Structure 1
Amino acid sequence: MTGAEQIAAFAAHTYQDGVPSDVSDAAHLHLLDAIGVGIAASSFAENAGWAGAASAGSATLLSGGTAEPGAAAMINGALIHSLEFDDTHIASVVHGSAVAASVALAATELVEGSGRDLILAYVIAWEVAIRLGLAAPGAFQTKGFQVTSVGGAIGAAAAAAQVLGLDQQQTVSAIGIAGGQASGTLAFLADGATSKALNPGWAARTGIEAARLAQAGMTGPASVLESTFGVMNVFADGTKGTEPLLATLGREWMTPDAAFKLYPCCHYIHPFLEAVEKIMAQGVSANDINSVMALVPPPAAPLICEPWARRQAPVSGYDGKWGLAYCMALMLVDGRVDVGSFEAAPREDVIAVAKKMTWKPMEDHRFPARFSARIEVETTNGAFSAEVPQVRGAPDRPLDAMDIRAKFVANAGRRFDAKRIHALEQEILSMASAADLGGIAGLLQG
Structure 2
Amino acid sequence: MSAQEPLAVGLARGVRALAGAPLPADVLSAAQDHLLDAIGVGLAGGAAPTSPLGPALGALGGGDGTVLGRADRLAPASAALVNGTLIHSMEFDDTHVPSVIHGSAVVVPAALAAAERQASSGAELAVAVAAGWETLVLLGLASPGGFQAAGFQTVAAAGPFGAAVAAGLLASTDEATLVSALGICGSQASGTFAFLTDASTVKAMHAGWAAHSGVLAVDLATAGVTGPAAVLEDRFGFFASYARDAEAPGRFAALLPGLGERWALPEAAFKAYPCCHYIHPFLEAAERLRDEGLAPDDVAEVVVRVPDGAAPIVCEPWERKLTPASDHDARWSLPVCVAQVLLRGRLTSADVTGIASDPEVLALATRMRAEPWEDSGFPARFPADLRVRTTDGRDLHATVDDVRGSASRPLGADAVLAKFRDNAEPVVGAARADEIAAAVRDLRALDDVRELTALLRPAA
SS at structure 1 position matched to 2:433:
helix
- Please tell me whether residue 396 in structure 1 is matched to residue 408 in structure 2: yes
- Alignment partners' CA distance in 1, 2:386 and 2:375: 14
1:137 paired residue number: 144
- Alignment partners' CA distance in 2, 1:396 and 1:295: 21
- Alignment partners' CA distance in 1, 2:47 and 2:228: 41
Post-superposition shift, 1:363?
3.5
- Please tell me whether residue 364 in structure 1 is matched to residue 401 in structure 2: no
- Alignment partners' CA distance in 1, 2:183 and 2:232: 8
Kindly provide the amino acid, as one letter, of the partner of residue 129 in structure 2: Y
- Please tell me whether residue 81 in structure 1 is matched to residue 96 in structure 2: no
2:351 paired residue number: 341
- Please tell me whether residue 264 in structure 1 is matched to residue 274 in structure 2: yes
TM-score by length of 1: 0.98
Change (3 A) 1:108 1:142: same
1:442 paired residue number: 454
SS at structure 2 position matched to 1:322:
coil
1:62 pairs with 68, 73, 78, which one?
Answer: 68
Post-superposition shift, 1:345?
5.3
1:198 pairs with 200, 205, 208, which one?
Answer: 205
Point out where structure 1 has 5 or more consecutive residues left out of the alignment.
none
- Alignment partners' CA distance in 2, 1:432 and 1:89: 24
1:286 paired residue number: 296
- Please tell me whether residue 274 in structure 1 is matched to residue 284 in structure 2: yes
Post-superposition shift, 1:327?
0.3
Aligned pairs for 1:27-176 (under 5 A) are: 27-47=31-51, 49-50=54-55, 52-53=57-58, 54-65=60-71, 66-176=73-183
Post-superposition shift, 1:225?
0.3
Deviations 1:259-295 (A, max 9, x none): 0000000000000001101111111111111110001
Asked if 2 retains the 8 angstrom alpha-carbon contact of 1:192 and 1:318, the reply is yes
Point out where structure 2 has 5 or more consecutive residues left out of the alignment.
none
- Please tell me whether residue 2 in structure 1 is matched to residue 12 in structure 2: no
- Alignment partners' CA distance in 2, 1:431 and 1:185: 35
1:253 paired residue number: 263
Asked if 2 retains the 8 angstrom alpha-carbon contact of 1:87 and 1:96, the reply is yes
- Alignment partners' CA distance in 2, 1:299 and 1:418: 41
- Alignment partners' CA distance in 2, 1:344 and 1:409: 24
Post-superposition shift, 1:230?
0.6
1:18 paired residue number: 22
Compare 31-40 and 156-165 and name the one that shifted more.
156-165
- Alignment partners' CA distance in 1, 2:164 and 2:193: 22
SS at structure 2 position matched to 1:155:
helix
Change (3 A) 1:363 1:149: closer
Kindly provide the amino acid, as one letter, of the partner of residue 224 in structure 1: V
SS at structure 1 position matched to 2:375:
coil
Compare 40-49 and 80-89 and name the one that shifted more.
40-49
- Alignment partners' CA distance in 1, 2:194 and 2:55: 20
1:309 paired residue number: 319
Aligned pairs for 1:405-424 (under 5 A) are: 405-424=417-436
- Please tell me whether residue 182 in structure 1 is matched to residue 194 in structure 2: no
- Alignment partners' CA distance in 2, 1:394 and 1:50: 36
- Alignment partners' CA distance in 2, 1:103 and 1:442: 16
Deviations 1:107-136 (A, max 9, x none): 011112111221111111100000000000
1:353 paired residue number: 364
Kindly provide the amino acid, as one letter, of the partner of residue 434 in structure 1: L
Q: CA RMSD in A?
A: 1.2
- Alignment partners' CA distance in 2, 1:301 and 1:50: 34
- Alignment partners' CA distance in 2, 1:159 and 1:80: 17
SS at structure 1 position matched to 2:396:
strand
Asked if 2 retains the 8 angstrom alpha-carbon contact of 1:285 and 1:332, the reply is yes
- Alignment partners' CA distance in 1, 2:108 and 2:338: 31
Asked if 2 retains the 8 angstrom alpha-carbon contact of 1:2 and 1:222, the reply is yes
Post-superposition shift, 1:399?
1.1
TM-score by length of 2: 0.95
- Alignment partners' CA distance in 2, 1:229 and 1:81: 29
Compare 45-54 and 323-332 and name the one that shifted more.
45-54
- Alignment partners' CA distance in 1, 2:370 and 2:172: 52
Asked if 2 retains the 8 angstrom alpha-carbon contact of 1:11 and 1:159, the reply is no
